[in-house]
């Protein structure tokens, strides 16, 4: 094992706390494409268009559940901390492409460079 490999194997990597959410509208959806950053540990959702998604989250929490053609009924209690609940809300409007990142605005290649 090389010195570089030993250094990387002995240094525990910090888990990535943010998730980059690329939101691609469903064909029948009247919403726009969005790029958001979500931290489920802190319950934060940021990015351009986050206000619209946060309004859907608030409405779903207020209703206590989601129901629709693809969901018979799904209980909603804390979608900013529970991935399955946020996914259920977003799935009504978008295809979601998630990617773990170190911080909002970073992509995987930038994260790899900061860890080396």
63-112 per-position pLDDT tens digit: 999 876 665 788 999 999 999 999 999 999 999 999 999 999 877 655 45
Q: Looking at the domain assignment, is residue 2 inside a domain? A: no
Q: Is residue 8 part of a domain?
A: no
Query: What does the pLDDT read at residue 52?
Result: 97
Cβ pair 45, 37 in contact under 8 A = yes
Within-domain flag for 62: yes
Q: Express as a percent the part of the chain with pLDDT over 90.
A: 66
Q: How confident is the model at residue 2 (pLDDT cuts 50, 70, 90)?
A: low
pLDDT (0 to 100) of residue 111: 47
Q: Is residue 7 part of a domain?
A: no
Per-residue pLDDT of 55-69, as tens digits, reads: 999 999 999 998 766
Distance of CA 34 to the CA centre of its chain: 12
Residue 5 lies in a domain: no
Tokens of 11: 């240094």
Give me the number of domains the chain comprises: 1
Say whether 80 sits in a helix, a strand or coil: coil
Question: What per-residue confidence (pLDDT) applies to 116?
Answer: 47
The reply to whether 91 falls in a domain is yes
Confidence of residue 3 (pLDDT cuts 50, 70, 90): low
Structure tokens that stand for 49 in this block: 């268009």
Q: 16-62 pLDDT, tens per residue? A: 899 999 999 999 889 999 999 999 999 999 999 999 999 999 999 99
Full residue range of the structural domain in which residue 88 is found: 16-115
Residue 1 lies in a domain: no
Q: Is residue 92 part of a domain?
A: yes
């Amino acid at each position: 094992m090389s010195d570089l490999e030993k250094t990387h194997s002995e240094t525990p990597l910090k888990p990535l706390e943010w998730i980059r959410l690329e939101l691609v509208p469903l064909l029948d959806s009247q919403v726009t494409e969005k790029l958001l950053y979500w931290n489920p540990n802190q319950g934060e959702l940021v990015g351009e268009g986050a206000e619209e998604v946060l309004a859907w989250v608030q409405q779903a929490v207020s209703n206590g559940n989601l129901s629709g053609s693809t969901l018979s009924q799904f209980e909603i209690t804390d979608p900013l901390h529970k991935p399955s609940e946020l996914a259920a809300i977003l799935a009504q409007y978008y295809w979601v492409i998630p990617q773990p990142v170190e911080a909002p605005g970073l992509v995987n290649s930038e994260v790899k460079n900061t860890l080396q």
